[in-house]
Each structure stands twice: as C-alpha cells, then as structure tokens.
Structure 1
Amino acid sequence: MTAISVLDLVPVRSDQTTADALAATLALARVADEVGARRYWLAEHHNMPAVAATNAPLLMALVAAATSRVRVGSGGVMLPNHSPLVVAEQVALLEAAYPGRVDVGIGRAPGADPVTGHLLRRGATGDGVDTFDADVATLASLVRPDGVDVRVGSSTYPLRATPRAVSTPQLWLLGSSTYSAQLAGRLGLPYVFAHHFAGRGTAEAVALYRRSFQPSPELAEPRTIAVANVAVAATEDGARRLALPQVRSMWRLRSGLTLEPQELVEDAEATPLPAAADEGAAALTSSWVVGDPDQAATQLRALADVVGTDEIMLQPIAGATRGTPADRSPAREQTLRLVAEALA
C-alpha cells in the first residue's frame, strides 16, 4: 500500500474570500483525516492573490484543531524569512498541544517576490540563504527537549524553545536540487523532493540524498517523500478539465504575469491560452498526475518506486466549477477520496 499525504497552499478562487478559502482548507483537511492520510502540510507564500497560505504554523494550529489523527506540518517554513528561535517556539507549542502530530518542513526559497522578502527580513541585507545550513542545525537543536547551551563570554546560557517539552516535532528538509539533497543527507534529516514543480531530477536528487546520508539523533536511515500535483475524476477528460485553472495559473506564474485568484473551470475554458503557450504548458504539466483513479494509482506507485518510499504527498489541484459552494472545494476533496481508494 502506498500511503498518501497532502500539501495545501490554501488556494483562493475568483469566487472566494480569504475566509472562504480557509473554510475550504479545513473541509479538505477533515477529508484527509477521514481517508487515512498520513500528513497534512501547509505552505508558506507571501503577497500572492491566489494563495492564502502565508503563515504555516498558524495554519497548522487551525488544521490540527479541526482534525483528530493526521499529522500536521509546514510545507514548508521558509527559514530565511524567520529566526530559528521563533520557529522553534511556534512548533514546540504545537507539539505540546498535539503531541506526536507535528512535522516541520523547512525550505530555503523565500516564497515571495524580492520586495516582500526584503520586508519579511526587516530590511536585512542579503537573502538569508548564506546562513541556511547553520540555521537548520540550530532549529534542529532548539526543538529538542534539552534545547541548546549558548556561550556568553565565560558563561553558559541555556536556551529552550519551551520549558518542559516531553516530545519533539519531526523535522524534514524540503528541496528541488542537489544542494538540498546533500544538506538533508549530511544533517541526517528526512527529505522531501518538490517533484510537483521541479518535474525532473527526482531520481538523481533522491539517490544523492541516500549516498550523502549520515545517521543523526533524528533519523537512523534515509527517509524520503515526493510531492506531486494531482487531479483525479471519474474519467481522464473530467480530470483534465478540472486541472485547467491550475495549468493556466502556473503558466502565468512561469511567464512572469500577475498571479490572479484562480479561475473557475468555465472561465478558464472560455479564454484558452495562446496557441504559442501549448508547448510550454505541456512541459509544465508533464510530471502532473491527471486522470482517472486507475491511471493516478499507476503513476503514483511508479513515483513512489523512483523515490523509494511508501508515501507520496499530493497537492490536489482540481479546480471548481460555477455554482460550487464558496467554502468548499469538492473536486479537491474528490481527488483525495478517489486516490485513497485506488491506492488502498
């Protein structure tokens, strides 16, 4: 059996407010809990009209409160935007409230445009990437119950993310490059490959991670997950229709155009992409899993074999048709249900 997990960017459709998008995410999280998904992770993106996932720890708290079993996590916290101590305090509190259910996926990308990223770092020079390796190691130490001891002159200063921790959130490193694969291996952390937007190099990155892996207090052996964009419906044509708004959104993003709230399916059909965009859109979606349940199960199992894992993380990308309740995303919920059934 291939286990499934979920990555959610909290997409905002043209017919939704932020409150609607959050309600739809909580409904989707309850479905994930119901079908036995292993994890439900929330992304971090900033200043994007189509994405409401700006604060992963806050969203994790909302999802954890709305579910009873699924592990909640960040996919990921973009560490260059934050102090490792602040992140450690946030996730330590979550772990205290929901013991054994908290993951912390750490990413190196800013998740924002340059101006927004600069403001997130309070105007600090640089992009924060140059200290990423050290910041990940610091965060890994801070979330342990014993914390760290900081040397201040001739004295030692104890630093704890929370005073009486009895369990520890699980750290994961996210990436789509050889750099992240090597770092995850060197630090002995589990590794998540962003197959959903990299689309290539998955096998190479995972192999490099396994070769680089050094056991750590967190992990004795390599552990991997790959993320895939997925839209599933009763028929392949139906799934491709539901994926169309996401195709158009990603084409706009890769073309440097403004990323507006996600269109409804009918609106996407009414204004096709330029003919010259067909080749680019085809390349963009070549690694996506779009089809009927049997097709999806076959492709997801093949991806799990490439990665060498029993778990695949889905980003459900199925759009909404006109008349869909604003506070729900039925096609995304259906994708989860159909995949879970097909892989059982």
Structure 2
Amino acid sequence: MSSLALSVLDLIPVRGSSSGAVQTSGQAVGASMALAQRADELGYRRYWFAEHHNMPSVASTTPPVLIAAAAARTSRIRVGSGGVMLPNHAALIVAEQFAALEALAPGRIDLGIGRAPGSDPVITQLLRQSGTSGDVERFPQHVHDIGLMLRAEGATLQFTSGGEYTVRATPAASGSPELWLLGSSDYSAQLAASRGLPYVFANHFSGHGLQRALDLYRSQFQPSETLSEPKTFLTANVVAAPSADEASARALPQLRMMARLRSNRPLTPLETVEQAQQGLADAGSDARVSEQALIDGIRSNWFIGTGDDVRERLEAFAAQYEVDEIMVSPVGGEFDSAPLDATPGRTQTLELLAR
C-alpha cells in the first residue's frame, strides 16, 4: 500500500437476486466477516461497522456484536464502530460494551460515536422506550461520561446530599478504546475540537460542508490528556474493478438505493447489477430521467473506476484535505452469479486498492 493509509467502513449490505432469492442475515454477516479478514491480510488500518436499523438492505444493526466477531477473526487490524448512535443507548452500556471489547482485543478497539438516530422516527422511539441517553441536548455530557467511565480510575459521581460514588465500565481496565466523534456538521466538528477528541467527517453521506467542518475542527482544537493535536480522516464511497465499465455497473445497485432513499420511495434488499440495470431500463421516460439525475448527483462524490485510477484519486483527495487516512465504504454490487454467502465485488475493491 502507498503512504496513504486505508481503512474500511462496512454497513453489511443485504442483497436480493433476479431469481427472487434474498441473502439471509447470516449470509450477509458471514460475507462481511470474510471481508474483514481479507482487509486484515491486505494491511488496512481499521475496519468499522455502522449502526442502522430496520433497513432491508443493511444488516449492520449492532456494532459491538459485529466488532467482537471481527476481532476474533483478525489479528492486526483495528476494529470499531462507525459509529454507535449514542442517543439510542445508555452511556454506561456503551462504556461497558467497549471496555469488554478492549479486554478481548487490547489496543485494537475504536469507539466511534455519532449523534444521529440511524433510523426513522418509529424505530428511534422503540430504541428509546426503556430510557437511554436519547436526550440529544445532553449528547456532549454523555460523550464526556463515556470517556471517564472507560478509564481505569472510572468516573466519580457527587451526591447532592454529600459523598461520592465511583462508576467503572469494567473492574480492572488495563487500557481503553480510542474514542472518536463522527459527524457531518459544524456541531460535531466543534464538539470534537473543544473536547480534544479525534474527529471523522462522514464524507460518504454527501460531502457538503467538508472543508468548513475540517477548518472548524483544526482551528478550534483544544489539546486533551489523550490527544495533543487534531487527528482526523475522511470517508468515501468506493468501487474499484478491473475496468471502468465493470466498476460503473457494480456501482449502480447502491446508487439506485441511495436515489430511492432520497426520493422517499420504499426500500428493498440491495439489487444485483442485473436487477438494477433492468429496473432503470424499465422505468418510464420521465421517471428514468429523474432517477438518472439523482444518480448522477450522488455519483459525483464517489470514487468509481479501475484500481489504479481510484487509488490515485483517493491520494489526491487526501492531499487536498491534508489527511493521511481514508476510510473507504466498498459499495460495489454483485452480479446474479455471485454466491449469496460471499461479496466478491467488495473484496475486489479492497484488493485492487491495496496493490
């Protein structure tokens, strides 16, 4: 690999097929575990799992469970969350889960935290019914609390009536996960800067506001006990293939899914390349023009092409924004012929970029 470090963001896509068969959750997760192992072998720096809920095309719902499984199957790569959507969870539970992960894989765990719910309002309400840190206004305090509880000395609570109470995420921690703030807004950049935390801008969402967010983070950064200077990298949707035509074909299923999401149409399991091509061809003239316009806009922020071309563009992208790491979300789709328990298109992307 070049001097640019590459990492992986995985949403664990669940796809259908022209025959009507749909990947099971087990097949999708198994394919992602194999992909994590391959990323480890290829020298990627990190492998993060996202948190999304109630989406027919996404099986990445529980980052801590997936991180534990990936950590057990790898030996070198850092594994983590990209991210845990904190408003859905109690701060103590998150701290305990990641303290346990750190004990299982010392020095290899990243805790990426986000403020978005990761789903629709109904699912958000269900996630918060039992009482969590769902008060978004207290998000900065919850982030602070998790950082304290993960330390060996724990966090000290002061009772209004007098006295103290110590809370530790695990009884005898010998280390703690690296805590990252994730976001795509000025708010997250400024919060990360004020707390002296590493920060990741979610460029794979849309890319809007990237330069401003990085400028705010770097200019307002306050050194902390764990970080003396700004630390950041960027995410990007990537498809690499032996030819540009194949890369474009493999990008189409995810591009159509994103267009469907942005136009508030019902979501489905991810299409295969053949399904996506046929679906676009079968659309009425006006609908096809409208969808193609959405696809073109989304695609403009993606990196699609041959391995050499994509790697060169990623290196230029990193240099432009002065980062030494890019986290790629390998979004290449599959042809109907691909086995349901494998993800050859995404594996191919990682292999071509690592050469």
CA distance in 2: counterparts of 1:126 and 1:184, whole angstroms: 19
Counterpart check, 1:306 vs 2:320: yes
Shift in alpha-carbon separation, 1:127–1:95, aligned structure 2, 3 A: closer
Partner-residue secondary structure (3-state), 2:92: helix
Counterpart check, 1:208 vs 2:216: yes
| Contact 1:81–1:128 (8 Å) recurs in 2 | no
Shift in alpha-carbon separation, 1:253–1:77, aligned structure 2, 3 A: same
The one-letter amino acid paired with 1:90 is Q
CA distance in 2: counterparts of 1:234 and 1:267, whole angstroms: 21
Give the drift of 1:107: 0.3
Aligned to 2:67, which of 56, 60, 64? 60
* Matched positions, count: 341
Shift in alpha-carbon separation, 1:250–1:72, aligned structure 2, 3 A: same
CA distance in 2: counterparts of 1:123 and 1:86, whole angstroms: 13
72-81 or 133-142, which deviates more: 133-142
Unaligned 5+ runs, structure 1: none
Aligned residue for 2:119?
Answer: 112
Aligned to 2:36, which of 16, 29, 35? 29
Give the drift of 1:302: 1.9
The one-letter amino acid paired with 2:256 is R
Aligned residue for 2:225?
Answer: 217
Give the drift of 1:123: 6.5
Give the drift of 1:125: 10
Aligned residue for 1:44?
Answer: 51
Aligned to 1:155, which of 156, 160, 163? 163
Counterpart check, 1:84 vs 2:86: no
| Contact 1:245–1:264 (8 Å) recurs in 2 | yes
Partner-residue secondary structure (3-state), 2:204: helix
Give the drift of 1:93: 0.5
CA distance in 2: counterparts of 1:251 and 1:139, whole angstroms: 36
Shift in alpha-carbon separation, 1:150–1:193, aligned structure 2, 3 A: same
Aligned residue for 1:268?
Answer: 276
| Contact 2:251–2:333 (8 Å) recurs in 1 | yes
TM-score (normalised: structure 2): 0.94
In percent, how many aligned pairs have the same letter? 51
Aligned to 1:327, which of 321, 326, 341? 341
The one-letter amino acid paired with 2:10 is D
Give the drift of 1:141: 1.0
Aligned to 2:267, which of 259, 281, 289? 259
Counterpart check, 1:199 vs 2:188: no
CA distance in 1: counterparts of 2:100 and 2:132, whole angstroms: 30
Shift in alpha-carbon separation, 1:86–1:123, aligned structure 2, 3 A: closer
Give the drift of 1:297: 1.3
The one-letter amino acid paired with 1:283 is G
Partner-residue secondary structure (3-state), 1:189: coil
CA distance in 1: counterparts of 2:259 and 2:251, whole angstroms: 12
Give the drift of 1:223: 0.5
Aligned residue for 1:185?
Answer: 193
| Contact 2:89–2:132 (8 Å) recurs in 1 | no
Partner-residue secondary structure (3-state), 2:70: helix
| Contact 1:103–1:172 (8 Å) recurs in 2 | yes
After superposition, residues 230-241 of structure 1 pair within 5 angstroms as 230-241=238-249
Partner-residue secondary structure (3-state), 1:271: helix
Give the drift of 1:306: 2.9
| Contact 1:224–1:307 (8 Å) recurs in 2 | no
Aligned residue for 2:6?
Answer: 4
Shift in alpha-carbon separation, 1:125–1:296, aligned structure 2, 3 A: closer
CA distance in 1: counterparts of 2:180 and 2:338, whole angstroms: 35
Counterpart check, 1:279 vs 2:287: no
Runs of 4+ in 1 over 4 A off after TM superposition: 123-127
The one-letter amino acid paired with 1:206 is L
CA distance in 2: counterparts of 1:202 and 1:301, whole angstroms: 17
The one-letter amino acid paired with 1:77 is V
Aligned residue for 1:318?
Answer: 332
Residues 12-35 of structure 1 deviation map (CA, whole Å, 9 limit, x = unaligned): 011311000011000100110010
Residues 137-161 of structure 1 deviation map (CA, whole Å, 9 limit, x = unaligned): 1111111111111112211101100
Partner-residue secondary structure (3-state), 1:183: helix
Unaligned 5+ runs, structure 2: 17-21
Residues 259-296 of structure 1 deviation map (CA, whole Å, 9 limit, x = unaligned): 21101111111110621222221111211000111220
TM-score (normalised: structure 1): 0.97
Give the drift of 1:168: 1.0
127-136 or 44-53, which deviates more: 127-136
| Contact 1:108–1:129 (8 Å) recurs in 2 | yes
After superposition, residues 90-169 of structure 1 pair within 5 angstroms as 90-122=97-129, 128-152=135-159, 153-169=161-177
CA RMSD after TM alignment: 1.3
Aligned to 2:251, which of 230, 239, 243? 243
Residues 63-98 of structure 1 deviation map (CA, whole Å, 9 limit, x = unaligned): 101111110000000000111100000000000111
